[in-house]
Structure 1
Amino acid sequence: MNSKPLTYDSLKTVLQYMDPNTRLLLSSRAPSIRTAEKAVPLKIDDLQIRNHSIKVNGTEYRYEIYQVDCKDKIPYRVSGECELNGNWVCDVNEFGVRDYIAKYNCVVPGNNRFQNQNLFGDYDDEEIVTHYGRLKKLRSILAMEKQQYEQLKSHQPENDPISREEKQGCFEMFKSIRRNIARVYTNEELEIRHDDEYTGSDLEPLKSEKVVKEAIETAGKRIRQMENELLPFENKINNIRPKFEIHLTKNKEIRYL
């Protein structure tokens, strides 16, 4: 069966009444229709423009910056809201330093008299004047986190039967301890332990294997985030320029009748 292509005027008519998301998709995939597509008004019922996303009639297009040459081969999202410190990132420089830091001459945030959060989202009262001094402090915090992570992996829970509510409560109790990375344990807590280890009382909320597994996953995720937030400063020191890409994702809103 022979088929004839639409004439220019017919194509314009079809495009005019086509769903805008389908039309955008066709235009991106078929260069031959772009001239006609640009000549026809695009009718959109609901258009929402937000930070890093555009929503067209319930379909959202998100664009994010990812570092794609990470050591673990897993692309790491650097734009948007940082889970560690809550800062919003729209761009990075050639080394990966976030824009909210780059505008202050790429100096590591925190550890100043203004009580600002450090790179990991913690409030540290110790005042450190120099950039490299703050980097050194952050490296020590990361090293402590890794030691605590290893201690978690070797922890043997009692496997007490607990309900879902108790499990959630135990995990939240444990997370509240973990967030205070820089705290100093009391002598009673330390006993024969070092400052960089969890105490028995710290690990007490981890009463089941499920809670321990969740704690290990959370700690591992946090360590990866901490490493990736420190990485741009290490890149700058070593003159390494990582590879970044802008990824576009499409999500259609599900409407229930």
Structure 2
Amino acid sequence: MPREVLQYDSLRTVLQYIEANKRLHLSQFIPSIRFAEKVVPLKIDNLQFNELGVNINSTTYQLSLYRDFHQGEEVVDPFQKENDMGGVQNDLDQFGFLVPINRTDVVPGEIVFGDVVHQNRNFTPNLQPSFPCSHQQNDERMRRYYEKHLEIYQIALMRRLEQGDPEREETPARSFHPLLVRLFTDDELLATAGPPFDCLHNNRAIPFTTLIQLTIKSKDQVERIERYPYTVKLHEAMRKLNRMMFGGRSSIVNVYTFSFRLRNVVLRIPEGLKIRVRDLWLDENMNGRLEALGNIIDESSYPLEVLTIFNAEEEEADPFSHPILTSARNLILEGFKPTDMTRLLNLRNEKVFFEYCTRARSLTVENLLSFVRNVLAARSPVGVYRSFRVQDEALGRNFLNQVAEQFNGIRRFRTARIPIGNDSILEMLYNDTLSNVLEDRPPITKWTVVMTVVAA
């Protein structure tokens, strides 16, 4: 029975309703639909680019290097563990030394953010030596450093064997040398330092073939792994992966949530890619991040539906006057509360969620009362909403008590009300929710104070 092929217009209609990851998968395996797939606007719920990966909705694509040991070669345990945990997040040279990801090879369209050019290649001894890097291969001090610590470990291991307790897991309370702490774990790490030096100085071939590994993880699906010859560096492979997914698109990619929270990174974005964002998540240095994203986020994204920013403990340039922030309908503020509360009081966004850390510089009762005064003085319109994460229930209760005392508010259980005078009322309340931080830990109670201007 002959197969029926979708006509071009019908194919375009069908593609609009296929989930983004499935569309990309179909495009790779059915070359005949690639042109149509690139033309039809792509819709993504959640998008995040990383240095060696990309998250699309609930699927993660991650690049790494896999050491495929030759038959008959002994597989060193740390190498096996590294393979099992997803591979190496660095390039490798011909001797097996680690090579930092190339961040200086940048082409048009790619985003450079933070201090990514200068690599610290000075010899810095540490208490837990890791696998040596390529630039250390001719450093005799580094080689002697590893050899000396191997001798120390061999002596320590012999002493442990003499005591008849080679599998003891606990560590001594006080050690004459800090490297004896967690002996076997660090011993395994140190054992991996030898092969690259051995291959270099004895002109031996490395005992494994290096492969590029693409790990695809999807929620509620079996992890998929693909491996390819290591013919290009990891940053070039990432560039190819992003071009395959996002390059050559003639229409704007519609993204609901776009997250950019990495520091000191190069994102291999294809030139010409434009995304329309509704919910934007940014880490500290909001102004710098928005500047870096200027060529990828389309102007039609603004005003944003939601903007989430993180305020660093060391305060940066004032982000609160930026038009992208002031025009966002919903503003979520995380991190550390600024010392100058004036900038927060003057925010005119309809809804603001203050999710600042409750351990350092947390919101006080007086801070909350200043917001009440501000709402009353400005006669804020109906719909204005302010949510504050607070330290505990006592703070919420004390706040409402002060509202009743200072503003003649009508206090009832966990709520209070103050008439504003323009046929509206300022309603205040505090409540609690349970938040699961880790699956194996008990839930944490999160306390919140809410202020809302409602019609009388």
Structure 1 133/32 Cα, relative in aligned 2: closer, same or farther at 3 Å?
same
Post-superposition offset of 1:55: 0.8
Aligned position for 2:376? none
The AA in structure 1 aligned to 2:201 is: I
Q: Is residue 2:191 matched to residue 1:227?
A: yes
Structure 2 CA distance for aligned equivalents of residues 63 and 101 of structure 1: 12
Structure 1 27/143 Cα, relative in aligned 2: closer, same or farther at 3 Å?
farther
Structure 1 CA distance for aligned equivalents of residues 66 and 219 of structure 2: 24
Q: Is residue 2:140 matched to residue 1:140?
A: no
Structure 1 51/101 Cα, relative in aligned 2: closer, same or farther at 3 Å?
closer
Post-superposition offset of 1:21: 0.9
Matches within 5 A, 1:39-188: 39-69=39-69, 71-73=73-75, 75=80, 77=82, 89-100=89-100, 109-111=123-125, 116-117=126-127, 119-120=129-130, 130-141=141-152, 143-144=154-155, 147=158, 155=165, 173-174=170-171, 182=179
Structure 2 CA distance for aligned equivalents of residues 176 and 245 of structure 1: 43
Structure 1 129/54 Cα, relative in aligned 2: closer, same or farther at 3 Å?
same
Maintained 8 Å contact 1:65/1:77: no
Aligned position for 2:21? 21
Structure 2 CA distance for aligned equivalents of residues 61 and 175 of structure 1: 42
Maintained 8 Å contact 2:160/2:166: no
1:217-248 deviation line (CA, Å, top 9, x unaligned) = x93x6544433343222222233244211211
Point out the structure with the larger helix share: 1
Maintained 8 Å contact 1:12/1:40: yes
The AA in structure 1 aligned to 2:196 is: P
Identity %: 26
Q: Which has the higher contact order (CA 8 A, sep 6+)?
A: 1
Q: What is the RMSD computed on CA atoms of the aligned residues?
A: 4.5
Aligned position for 1:251? 217
Maintained 8 Å contact 1:64/1:77: no
Maintained 8 Å contact 2:90/2:101: no
Structure 1 131/44 Cα, relative in aligned 2: closer, same or farther at 3 Å?
same
Structure 1 CA distance for aligned equivalents of residues 16 and 196 of structure 2: 47
Structure 2 CA distance for aligned equivalents of residues 135 and 174 of structure 1: 22
| Number of residue pairs the alignment of both structures matches | 189
Structure 1 CA distance for aligned equivalents of residues 61 and 5 of structure 2: 30
Matches within 5 A, 1:204-219: 219=184
Pair member with larger Rg: 2
With structure 1 as the length reference, what TM-score do the two structures score?
Answer: 0.54
The AA in structure 1 aligned to 2:192 is: N
Point out the structure with the larger strand share: 2
Greater CA drift, 136-145 or 59-68: 136-145
Post-superposition offset of 1:4: 0.5
Structure 2 CA distance for aligned equivalents of residues 119 and 30 of structure 1: 48
With structure 2 as the length reference, what TM-score do the two structures score?
Answer: 0.33
Aligned position for 1:34? 34
